[in-house]
Amino acid sequence: MTVSISRDRINSGFTAKVQRLADQNLMACYQCGKCSAGCPMAAYMDIPPNQMIRLAQLGMEEDLLNSEAIWLCVSCMTCNTRCPKGVRIAELIESMRQIKLRARQDHLQVDEVSEADLRAIPPIALIGSMRKFTS
Amino acid sequence: MKLSYFPGCTLKNHARNFEDSTLFAMDKLGVEAVELDRWNCCGTVFSLSADDLMRQVAPIRNLLRTSERGDSQLMTGCSMCFNTLKRANHRARANGEDLARMNDFMYDEPVDYAGDVDVLHVLEVVRDQIGFDAIREQVVKPLEGLRVACYYGCMLVRPNEAAIDDAENPRVLEDLITVLGGEPVDFSHKTECCGAHQTVDKPEIIADKTYEILGSAKAQGADTVAVSCPLCAFNLDHRQEATLKIHSDFHSMPVVYFSQLMAIALGGSESVLRLDLHHTPPGPLLTGKGLL
- Confidence (pLDDT) at B151: 98
What residue type is B245 in one-letter code?
K
What are the residue ranges in chain B where pLDDT is below 50?
none
Residues of A in contact with B209 (CB under 8 A): 40
Interface test with B, best of A124, A133, A134 (most B CBs within 10 A): A124
Query: pLDDT tens digit string along A6-55?
Result: 999 999 999 999 999 999 999 999 999 999 999 999 999 999 999 999 99
- Nearest neighbour of A132 by CB, restricted to B197, B202, B238: B197
Inform me whether the C-beta atom of residue A37 falls under 8 Å from chain B C-beta atoms. Answer: no
Instruction: Give the span between the Cα atoms of B20 and B12, in whole angstroms.
Output: 9
Residue A115 burial by Cβ neighbours in a 10 Å radius (0-12, 13-18, 19+) = exposed
Distance from the Cα of residue B248 to its chain's centroid: 30
Query: pLDDT tens digit string along A111-131?
Result: 999 999 999 999 999 999 999
Residue A1 has pLDDT above 80, yes or no: no
A123 vs B10: CB contact, 8 Å cut-off?
yes
Q: Model confidence at A2, in pLDDT bands (50, 70, 90)?
A: confident
Inform me whether the C-beta atom of residue B41 falls under 8 Å from chain A C-beta atoms. Answer: yes
Residue A88 has pLDDT above 90, yes or no: yes
- Nearest neighbour of A76 by CB, restricted to B13, B14, B196: B196
B127 contacts: CB under 8 Å, gap ≥ 6: B172, B175, B176
Classify the C-alpha dihedral A15-A20-A21-A24 as positive or negative: positive
Inform me whether the C-beta atom of residue A44 falls under 8 Å from chain B C-beta atoms. Answer: yes
HSE, CB side, 13 Å, CA atoms: give it for residue B176: 29
B76 contacts: CB under 8 Å, gap ≥ 6: B5, B6, B7, B8, B42, B82, B85, B119, B120, B121, B122
H or E, element range at B224: strand B224-227
A77 vs B197: CB contact, 8 Å cut-off?
no
Q: ipTM score here?
A: 0.96
B158 vs A129: CB contact, 8 Å cut-off?
no
Query: pLDDT tens digit string along B222-279?
Result: 999 999 999 999 999 999 999 999 999 999 999 999 999 999 999 999 999 999 999 9
B193 vs A78: CB contact, 8 Å cut-off?
yes
Q: Beta partners for B150?
A: B226
Q: Model confidence at A3, in pLDDT bands (50, 70, 90)?
A: confident
Going from the C-alpha of B133 to that of each of B183, B185, B269, the distances in angstroms are 17, 21, 23
Interface test with B, best of A17, A24, A41, A77 (most B CBs within 10 A): A77
Q: Model confidence at A73, in pLDDT bands (50, 70, 90)?
A: very high
Coil, helix or strand for B258?
helix
Pair B22, B122: CB distance under 8 Å: yes
